[in-house]
Structure 1
């Protein structure tokens, strides 16, 4: 069994697909018998993130990161995010001569351009430099892998998919809700980079129901008074909302995967989205939804041809244990064995 350090700037109490992915992966790694040390923001002094004050960024000294790494002596080091913690862990690992892997979860260039007008070429320059030191770069979909390679990212790329908890997210009888049908559901952050105004502006018959929170919720709730903003929902309450809706709308052009798409499909809910990376890799069966550059057209097509049984069957292909095994296969030793021999291979070789 291996000792694995995971470094992330995104962690609880944030609510996001990245946090859900990392938290679930760490729990399953421990269930598989590995020892995991998570270096995350709560142990350090934090400041609100520029342009996103509800998210805190840790501001540690590199010495604290170095001591933590040297004390734990991981067999494998994975740096999940490109923020302050990830940057310091990268610097320490380089100084120690340790190999490490990184992952690309968030389209920060597009986010920063939307939120602050920062040219994407500047952000991509930093990201190419950051990930360029990694022994391997983990991404969620083949489309994203191809895109990053075309943008000049140089490390070898491995796929690290996502999963869905089908014991929680599954079809249920549709209850009577106090909203006119059809019910168009969105789940995620309420923020400009998610493309939500494209959805909110549409003249749709029925009800737009949004689950989540974020910096744009208050102004949009006032501007789009016909929409229903429910705030955060979790667990069974969230699962029941998925199952009660008639269509899931995913207007983001910037997400790298879209865990909520899998949750919707597992609940028997077809999806309407733009043909962006993430949706393009997930909505491959027309019975599971529709992709179109015109969001209203995607919604109309998904309503017409969506098949709840096909949605559920498709989502069942994705499991968190399988995604975690992909993660294990992609890790590299910090030192010692040849690059590419991850803990899964080592376990087989020693048995």
Structure 2
């Protein structure tokens, strides 16, 4: 949940061949509201990706719920999502609710998150049940929210959040620029990770791997409000070795430079529903070493798109360091071409075509009425 991503807004593409429904474009409500609070997170990136997909299909994006709309996309676990779902029901318009979050990926996030996780699951399940269709980014997350404790009855569709492969693409010239920006020697080895500074994102293990490999520079892009850091993460950041750098939040262009210029992407997250940053990394052609969580073990087995180390506990960082050393020295198979091809399979244009099919299955049609709703109505 709330994965940091620097995905930038994609230039408006020419409409795809998939024609608007019934010869007329849909008016798709992508409300702003409290969603603005998530603009720097993975959910924020997903919303921007949806906007790009909607426009590429020739449909109209509406942000004000008081304007006419034919379908609404609801993405956040904030209170206004419930109000917007009720508004759509009142207007007799279908609501597509995106299940980006689960109880599992809420754990190990913020102080008290483990105690609050069951309550959070009841809340998001209540929101997801308001959808006429529930959309989730992977088969793994679909399996999680299909459990009886979520109580979902609406159809659940799988749709990747996607990646902009026209923006995130290999660029060998970025290697020198990245080292210049970090003040490193041209031959320096650089390993990066991207995300919020959370235990769930694997930052404790990542710092320990950096400690075991002092000859390599480790760079973590992304930050968390210091007020939301757990004590153990605060300590890990304060005691991090000198070869571990934390530039914080960076813009999309800087993040692309990092993906393209680094020697490896080390993503030790413990739980994801998809992980947009991994798709960004693969799109840029960077070798990737990830923790072998169920999502990645099933969707991209070890040695196919990524190299993986499965496990946790005291010995995990040592195993990662050994595997990472083998990756950096070229002992492991080069999977970057396969990773790039896989990323192209979830490019935003591909996602748009699948979104059009979800509209069809949900029975979304252009409304005959175009009457504007006013505040006094």
Q: Distance in 2 between matches of 1:91 and 1:274?
A: 40
Instruction: Indicate whether 1:247 and 2:271 are aligned.
Output: no
| Shift in Å, 1:300 | 4.2
Please give the secondary structure, in 2, of the residue aligned with 1:228: strand
> Gaps spanning 5+ residues in structure 2: where?
1-24, 367-377
| Cα distance, 1:144–1:308 mapped onto 2, change above 3 Å | same
| Shift in Å, 1:102 | 0.4
| Preserved contact between residue 245 and residue 269 of structure 1 (Cα < 8 Å) | yes
| Residue 341 of structure 1: aligned partner | 363
| Residue 238 of structure 1: aligned partner | 255
| Preserved contact between residue 257 and residue 278 of structure 1 (Cα < 8 Å) | yes
Map 1:259-270 → 2, pairs under 5 A: 259-270=276-287
| Cα distance, 1:109–1:309 mapped onto 2, change above 3 Å | closer
| Residue 16 of structure 2: aligned partner | none
Instruction: Indicate whether 1:183 and 2:179 are aligned.
Output: no
| Cα distance, 1:31–1:94 mapped onto 2, change above 3 Å | closer
Two-structure CA RMSD over aligned residues (Å) = 2.9
| Preserved contact between residue 191 and residue 265 of structure 2 (Cα < 8 Å) | yes
| Residue 83 of structure 1: aligned partner | 78
| Shift in Å, 1:311 | 2.3
1:139 corresponds, among 133, 136, 143, to: 136
| Shift in Å, 1:315 | 1.9
Map 1:190-209 → 2, pairs under 5 A: 190-202=197-209, 203-205=211-213, 206-209=216-219
Q: Distance in 2 between matches of 1:343 and 1:281?
A: 36
More relative contact order in 1 or in 2 (CA 8 Å, sep 6+)? 2
| Cα distance, 1:99–1:33 mapped onto 2, change above 3 Å | closer
| Residue 29 of structure 1: aligned partner | 54
| Shift in Å, 1:92 | 2.8
| Shift in Å, 1:13 | 7.6
Give per-residue Cα distances to partners, 1:162-217, cap 9 Å, x unaligned: 32222322223233821675422111222344231121122432121111222248
Give per-residue Cα distances to partners, 1:247-277, cap 9 Å, x unaligned: 2122222331111101111111122222335
| Preserved contact between residue 142 and residue 159 of structure 1 (Cα < 8 Å) | yes
| Residue 20 of structure 1: aligned partner | 45
Map 1:163-174 → 2, pairs under 5 A: 163-173=162-172, 174=175
| Cα distance, 1:34–1:264 mapped onto 2, change above 3 Å | same
Please give the secondary structure, in 1, of the residue aligned with 2:36: coil
Q: Distance in 2 between matches of 1:75 and 1:266?
A: 34
2:87 corresponds, among 89, 92, 95, to: 92
Map 1:119-158 → 2, pairs under 5 A: 119-153=116-150, 154=152, 155-158=154-157
| Preserved contact between residue 7 and residue 80 of structure 1 (Cα < 8 Å) | no
| Cα distance, 1:247–1:90 mapped onto 2, change above 3 Å | same
Q: Which one has a larger percent strand, Structure 1 or Structure 2?
A: 1
| Shift in Å, 1:135 | 1.3
| Cα distance, 1:243–1:114 mapped onto 2, change above 3 Å | closer
Give per-residue Cα distances to partners, 1:149-173, cap 9 Å, x unaligned: 1254322110111322223222232
How many residues end up aligned between the 2 structures? 308
Q: Distance in 1 between matches of 2:311 and 2:357?
A: 36
| Shift in Å, 1:12 | 7.0
> Gaps spanning 5+ residues in structure 1: where?
39-67, 333-338, 345-351
**TM-score normalised to the size of structure 2?**
0.72
